[in-house]
Amino acid sequence: MPDPIEPRHYRALFISDVHLGTRGCQAALLLDFLRYHDADVIYLVGDIIDGWRLKRSWYWPQPHNDVVQKILRKARKGARVIYVPGNHDEFLRDYLGTHFGGVEVMDSFVHESADGRRYLVIHGDQFDVVVRHAKWLAFLGDWAYVTALGINTWVNIVRRRLGLTYWSLSAWAKLKVKNAVNFIGKFETTLAGEAQRRDVDGVICGHIHHAAMHEDFGVHYINTGDWVESCTAVAETADGEFELIRWTEIGAKPAAKIVAAPQAAA
């Protein structure tokens, strides 16, 4: 049976925080997404490869390799691919200005939309005080994040054997959500301020795994989200409109338009 889904071609695609090399990476979903989406320019907005995790233990299954090959294939077919490294793939910052298989490595980039607006494309870890000034704490937080995904099951096995009631790690985490919201808000404010400092109209970033699109701080703030939990990407259409694509919600379907114009808040 022929595939009923029509592929979509955009002016630009923005993808970040894939974390290839980790068990949490949703490589199969990203491959599915890339099957239906092409663009003149593809921005890889940092943390595509998780060098932190790969240094500790090697994990690189075939789907992760397939993602790399898919992106390189798009470059060979004419797409411009720009890789802006993040903190987890910071080793690539030693190669700024170079090309790998048609992929350009840059510390940041100013993208001009179809209607002439200018966007700073940057991962955003440079403005995370923990990453900048306490990297050991960032490493600890990364370890804690991964560990928390699997620890709840084992804790409750032990608690049952001790005759204790069920304890929910997710419920405990919700008690901390105010701090998380405050961190996200501060990050967004800081990135918006950097965009204003550089005299651009908006910023497109990643890093905090929180997809968003709004103008709450005087510029057009866009965060691409991630491919560990939310499986999101951002696309620019031929007329300069931006779309936030939540792939797990729409599946293998043409992307629904989330933001029809830069003035609209997501």
pLDDT of 128 reads 65
| 8 A C-beta contact, residue 97 and residue 106 | yes
pLDDT in tens, 109-135: 999 999 999 999 999 988 864 434 334
Mean pLDDT calculated for residue range 7-29: 94
- Phi/psi of residue 115, each to 5°? -95, 15
Q: What is the distance between the alpha carbons of residues 218 and 135, in angstroms, rounded to a whole number? A: 31
For residue 255, tell me if it sits in a domain. Answer: no
Mean pLDDT calculated for residue range 236-255: 81
Mean pLDDT calculated for residue range 26-49: 96
For residue 74, tell me if it sits in a domain. Answer: yes
Q: Which of 49-58, 175-184, 222-231 has the lowest mean pLDDT?
A: 175-184
Mean pLDDT calculated for residue range 89-95: 93
For residue 180, tell me if it sits in a domain. Answer: yes
The CA-CA-CA angle for residues 168, 172, 178, to 5°, reads: 150
For residue 262, tell me if it sits in a domain. Answer: no
- 108 — pLDDT class (breaks 50, 70, 90): very high
Q: Cα dist. 230→25, 134, 183, 199, 248 in Å? A: 11, 27, 18, 31, 7
Mean pLDDT calculated for residue range 164-185: 53
For residue 104, tell me if it sits in a domain. Answer: yes
Mean pLDDT calculated for residue range 162-177: 52
Token pair for 200? 């651009």
Q: What is the distance between the alpha carbons of residues 9 and 236, in angstroms, rounded to a whole number? A: 10
Which CATH number covers residue 197? 3.60.21.10
Mean pLDDT calculated for residue range 69-84: 97
pLDDT of 250 reads 77
User: What is the total count of domains within the chain?
Assistant: 1
For residue 2, tell me if it sits in a domain. Answer: no
pLDDT in tens, 187-212: 899 999 999 999 999 999 999 888 99
Mean pLDDT calculated for residue range 75-80: 96
Residue 66, domain extent: 8-250
For residue 259, tell me if it sits in a domain. Answer: no
pLDDT of 4 reads 55
- Identify the CA nearest to 95 among candidates 111, 109, 83: 83
For residue 93, tell me if it sits in a domain. Answer: yes
